[in-house]
Amino acid sequence: MSERLIVPLDPESVKKLLGNVTAMLKGAPGVEEIGDDYVVVAVPRLLGLGHRRIKLSLNVYETEEVILLVMRSGVDSIVVAINIIDTGEGTHIVVGGGGSGRVARLVNPIINTIMKSINERIESAKPMVKITEEDNKLAALEQPLPPRATLVYYDSFIPVRDVMLEAALRVVALLGIDDYLVELQDYRGTYLARMVLRGNTVTGAYVKRGSQEARGEQALSIGKHPPGHRVGIRAWSLTGSTEAFLYEPERIAGDEKHAIYWMGGLARLDYGG
């Protein structure tokens, strides 16, 4: 059995958002106890005479695209794979697995529980909207950034549906909760958007798209569909207290119509318009 979810984030942000994957086993049918390196499950006895508790060792293995949970004791085993695959336009999360022995019947409920937990973590990171005029002015840069403001994020990504929402998700997933000014811009210079994030709430927004200019909720509506394919994203911590992730693109080749940028921090080629 497998479950699939498409998330408008890069794999690194997804992994940050998922955090401790063993904690996702909590609440799964049959799972009674979770330790640092073990899990205790309960399976029905033969003829329906109560349940038998089985202690399984628990190991987590991680590669670039897969997080593997291996639980076993003798012939009893459960293996769950969380595949995090970057398609270039969002990330596909596929959860699948299998089992053997007396615990094999627990595989499907565990997969369902893990996928539900992944959904909940992603939904909880989506920002609310509570616009204030003061932060609208900050988003429009009509007032200066606080002296302690620090550039903490510089990257680019291909939006899937709503670039404003996806940008907020990326910042919160990778950097954690803080106060930020987030700026988005396409490489042609025809699209510019900024928003103020305080905690998990968008409190100010500004967008300039061609001849259109808007603030607040209108800006969030107009700015969610950028004209370009890939957008650059920068974020400043307004408190100056966040770890920095700066992947500034370096132009290595190109002409008047096309350019190739080297994203050294992510070890990939990034094609700009």
Q: What ranges do the domains of the chain cover? A: 2-125, 128-272
> Percent of the chain, pLDDT > 70?
90
Closest CA to 114 of 2, 196, 210, 273: 2
* pTM (2 d.p.): 0.78
> Is pLDDT at 91 greater than 50 in this prediction?
yes
Q: Which CATH class is domain 2-125?
A: alpha beta
Radius of gyration of the chain (CA): 22
- 255 is written with which tokens? 């002409």
Handedness of CA 123, 35, 50, 1 (dihedral sign): positive
Which residues lie closer than 8 Å to 113 by C-beta, 6 or more apart?
Answer: 24, 25, 27, 28, 29, 31
Report pLDDT for 233.
93
User: How far is 207 from 201, CA to CA, in rounded Å?
Assistant: 18
> Is pLDDT at 50 greater than 70 in this prediction?
yes
- Mean per-residue pLDDT for 236-249? 84
163 sits in which H/E element:
helix 163-175
- 213 is written with which tokens? 């200019």
Q: What is the pLDDT of residues 4-14, one digit of tens each?
A: 888 888 888 88
Report which residue type is found at 161: R
- pLDDT-derived band at 269 (thresholds 50, 70, 90) equals very low
